[in-house]
Amino acid sequence: MAGQFFFYLFAAISVISALLAITRKNPIISAVWLVACMMGLAVIYVLTQAYFLAAVQVIVYAGAILMLFIFVIMMLNLKTGIIGQMRNLGIKFIGLVLTAIILRQFYTAIKGTVSLAVPASVVPANFGEAGAVGELLFTSYVYPLELMAVLLLVAIVGALVLAGKERP
Amino acid sequence: MIVGLQQLLVLSALLFTIGVAGFITRRNVLIMFMSVELMLNAANVALVAFARHSGSMDAQIIALFVMALAAAEVAVGLGIIVTVFRNRQTVNIDDVSNLKW
């Protein structure tokens, strides 16, 4: 039952830090709470036997993406006046109603879910480990992988074109 | 001992809903962007849950691609934010609602 306990602990940590992240006024504090959320999700991945993904989650999300956010926020050097408040009350109300509708839809979708868990004896021993993921990545998914490499290159060039120094 | 599918889906739904709420109610473009990241993560949780519960690792590969996609998206998105801030000195989404000015 230790797995269940850790699941509830880290799920609660993730959800609470996500809530805190979207309600803070200062984007830096939001980003730090989001790092906490990503770390909690990494533990959830370990509990679901996605070991390689858990490592990638920490390295890519917490390590790269959110650090990039923090770099950009610091580079923009926001003054307190332009940090930005919430939207006005009307839009906030509409947003919360929409959110409630979405939550309701999720509830009806998830309510009847039966766990069809494959027993641990059927699942291969190296399920979710780097070797198994890499093998799949370079056999069945080799074309998507190459496309993803091109996409990342395009993203780098795009970011440089957009945010690079103005040419004289 | 693995975690039940329903519990994982509830976690995924909660995170996604928080992301949607943040995206709609905030007008700081950086926090809206972080909300999008949160929604992508919620999708990843669902994918990982289904991967373990179907005994096939294909969904984990898709989750990996989602992460790579998120990295690419953040690079371009933050580039756009920096450019907009340079030109208009604002990160408030309501101030940049015009396509041309």
Domains of chain B: 5-96 (1.10.287.3510)
Per DSSP, helices labelled H in chain A are 2-23, 27-47, 51-56, 66-76, 89-111, 130-137, 142-163
Give me the interface pTM, i.e. the ipTM: 0.90
Which of A69, A126, A146 is most worth mutating to test chain B (most B CB atoms within 10 A of its CB)? A69
**Contact residues on chain B for A154, CB-CB shorter than 8 A:** 72
Between chains, do A96 and B11 touch, taking CB under 8 Å as contact? no
**Contact residues on chain B for A38, CB-CB shorter than 8 A:** 41
**A144 in any annotated domain:** no
Rounded to an integer, what is the distance from CA A16 to the centroid of its chain? Answer: 14
Alpha-carbon distance A28 to nearest alpha carbon in chain B (angstroms): 9
**A137 in any annotated domain:** no
One pLDDT digit (tens) per residue for chain A, 168 residues: 788 899 999 999 999 999 999 988 888 899 999 999 999 999 999 998 899 999 999 999 888 999 999 998 888 877 655 555 555 778 888 888 999 999 999 999 888 777 767 777 777 778 888 999 999 999 999 999 999 999 999 999 998 888 877 655
**A80 in any annotated domain:** yes
Alpha-carbon distance A90 to nearest alpha carbon in chain B (angstroms): 10
* Structural domain range at position A61: 1-85
Q: d(Cα A49, Cα B10) in Å, to the nearest integer?
A: 18
**A112 in any annotated domain:** no
Which residue in the set B14, B18, B48 is minimally distant from A53, CB to CB?
Answer: B48
**A108 in any annotated domain:** no
**A61 in any annotated domain:** yes
Which residue in the set B5, B17, B73 is minimally distant from A117, CB to CB?
Answer: B5
Q: d(Cα B38, Cα A23) in Å, to the nearest integer?
A: 13
Domain count, chain A: 1
Summarize pLDDT for B20-53 with one digit per residue, the tens.
999 988 888 889 999 999 999 999 999 999 988 8
Half-sphere exposure of B97 (CA within 13 A, CB side): 6
CATH code for the domain in which residue A76 is found: 1.20.120.1200
Can you read off the two tokens belonging to residue A29? 């504090």
